[in-house]
Amino acid sequence: MEPAVIIRHRAGLVVRLVNTATGQEIRQSGIRFTRNGETVFPMQRPDGKLVFLNFPSDACTFGVHAAQFVPQQVELTAELLAGQLPLKEIHLVPDRTYAARWPCDTVEGVWPGIEQIDAVRMTDNVCLMQAYDERRRILTLFNPHHLSLDRTYYAVVDPDACRYEPIEIIEQCSDQKFRVAAPLQRPFGNYFPVARRIQGAVLPQDRYELRVPDDSSDRRWLVRWRSGGQDYYQMVDFAQPETVTLRSPPAERAETDTEQREGG
């Protein structure tokens, strides 16, 4: 009798796709994935996550092409892929076809050198910051609704200054305690809101697209974008179309600018 052949597979990457406008997981057929331009194929787990077996551990560009969403390219680092069962949450931005069928508000245009764009709703205050353990990188929240905060991208918001610090939640330790990926870079007082952060897409030729849900009577959002290694902010009220286009020059909205602190 010939010896049995044992085939072993290594789960090299686990991906969770999220509709950034709704916060819901994307589960649809026909999504195309690429690694450095070459098509790769996942297995789908019952929980909706996608598993790529034997995914190489060296750094690469990972592409996602899904119907009714803007194509997304993300850079996967060797450090991430070297981890045990590495999980990458990728947020996809609805495209114009999706926005024509579902209530979305849109910020789009061209900005020289834009690297990133996202936004938070100014009235999101269902969770409030109570304490921060800098050594363990654990946020303690006032979480009366026992929200799971099981997504990755959130922000600690300073509503008076119209600024926020992006955070990535990597572990829920309890109903109130959440571990973040990196230390907070600025001090925040107690009872600052922790809000879900809506991701936008940066496209070729310095184009950007950001779509947020139009599901509230309050349509005010604080938009943050990064260009030249610096963050800029602008209050956008979709009930006032003149506020929706990102204004120039960028020096008028640098972090040290006081105009936006006054909501202007």
- pTM (2 decimals)? 0.82
Find out whether 225 and 232 touch, Cβ atoms under 8 Å: yes
pLDDT per residue as tens digits for the range 79-89: 889 877 788 99
- pLDDT of amino acid 47: 84
pLDDT per residue as tens digits for the range 54-80: 899 999 999 999 999 999 999 999 988
- Report the share of the chain in percent with pLDDT over 70: 89
SS3 241: helix
Sort strands 43-44 and 50-53 into parallel, antiparallel or unpaired: antiparallel
- pLDDT of amino acid 249: 45
Find out whether 33 and 88 touch, Cβ atoms under 8 Å: no
pLDDT per residue as tens digits for the range 160-197: 889 999 999 988 888 889 999 899 988 777 789 999 99
Residue at token pair 């990133």: 116
- pLDDT of amino acid 10: 58
List the chain residues with pLDDT less than 70. 1-11, 248-264
- pLDDT of amino acid 70: 94
Find out whether 78 and 3 touch, Cβ atoms under 8 Å: no
Residue at token pair 């900005």: 111
Q: How far is CA 31 from CA 184, 206, 233, in A?
A: 35, 25, 33
The CATH label, of 2.60.40.1120, 2.60.40.10, 3.40.50.80, 2.40.320.10, for the domain at 11-95 is: 2.60.40.1120
- pLDDT of amino acid 156: 93
- pLDDT of amino acid 4: 55
Provide the Cα torsion 260, 111, 208, 64; round to 10°.
-130
- pLDDT of amino acid 250: 46
Range(s) for CATH 2.60.40.1120 in the chain?
11-95
